[in-house]
Amino acid sequence: MVSYISKSIFNISRSNLLPKMSVIRSISLSASQSSKSLLYNDYGEPADVLKLIEVPDVKPASDQVTVRWLLAPVNPADINTIQGKYPSKPALPAVPGNEGVGEIIDVGASVKGFNVGDKVVPNDNHTGTWRSQANYLPNSLIKIPKTLETIEACMLNVNPCTAYRMLKDFTNLQPGDTVIQNGGNSAVGQFVIQLCKAWNYKSVNIVRDRPDILNLKDYLKKLGATEVLTEAELRTTTLFKSKQLPAPKLAFNCIGGQNALEVLRHLGHSGTMVTYGGMSREPFSVPTAALIFKNIAIKGFWMTAWAKTNGISQEKTNMLNDLAQLFSSKQLQVPSYKIIPLVEYQEAVIKTLQLDGKTGLKYILDLSS
């Protein structure tokens, strides 16, 4: 029996599912040759518009493969997409979910390069992973090393890739250089910390003050953080003026507002700030002096756009292989998570926006349940 608790590790293998939108009926757990899927017909709050449905299993066409989805994280972007607030919107009705891990269970006659048993993750936006089975064209998927644990693989596509690309693509960092970020205990923030440690960069990580701040600091330092500061401590720190650490060359912002400005003030000459989120929903004002006298560059990053541009490229394959190796060598570990049976999806969709970025807790749907 599967125990649904944080950090659960288990093997998953159960029935297949392929959603066909023209054949949808109310969920019936006694039906055979069918599978479960979440679906929404209109944009709105996920707890209101998502419906758990049952759909028939369908053999793949000659140019398709069938994927049994195993685990799928619930990300804030998934919630925003269902709400209709995300820049990229699927055609309705839609199955939510842009991230997850599955295995190939059937292969069409004309498909090359995929075999039954291959482990795959999405290669497209709006793949619809919040279901237990579906048919796909091969270019919608990308194979990953089978050595990855299922729990690691299901979170591979978004947060670790975001951290990886931001560290690789904006500044030519050298061992010993400093990176500063807010949202240091978010899911992306934790991967930034671990990648910095693996690549010999210093990381200064800003978090919100809280009653258990000492425990949080200890946790992040065990992950590899060089320093962890609260927002108040950041305003008065002498880490960089005292030369205890080199002035940061690269800054990451997922908060916005005053918090982002305080981070920017510590960025070194000709440094770069990369914004990839705006959890405070407050605008980020850049002082003119930072642009003129410090030559600061202000950039933005959206992993969805990077993935769309790069498709199944050698660059993407190399990144996934690098991350897989780092997971295998235990230089990367996933953030705290809680696994929820698909039939109990409401807890995950309600709490994800409340918790992500504050606790780092990741809700994951078990698609076999």
Active site residues: 86
Take residue 59 and report the two structure tokens written for it.
């053999």
Beta-carbon count within 10 A of 31 CB? 13
Angle at 235 between CA 234 and CA 239, to 5 degrees: 55
231 contact partners, CB below 8 Å, separation of at least 6? 206, 207, 208, 209, 259, 262
Which DSSP helix (H) or strand (E) runs through 195? helix 187-198
Distance of CA 355 to the CA centre of its chain: 14
**Cβ–Cβ < 8 Å for 113, 138:** yes
Angle at 156 between CA 150 and CA 162, to 5 degrees: 165
Spatial separation of the C-alpha atoms in residues 234 and 229, rounded to whole Å: 6
Alpha helices, DSSP H, located in 254-313: 257-264, 288-292, 303-310
91 contact partners, CB below 8 Å, separation of at least 6? none
Q: Give the SS3 label for residue 314.
A: helix
Take residue 361 and report the two structure tokens written for it.
């807790």
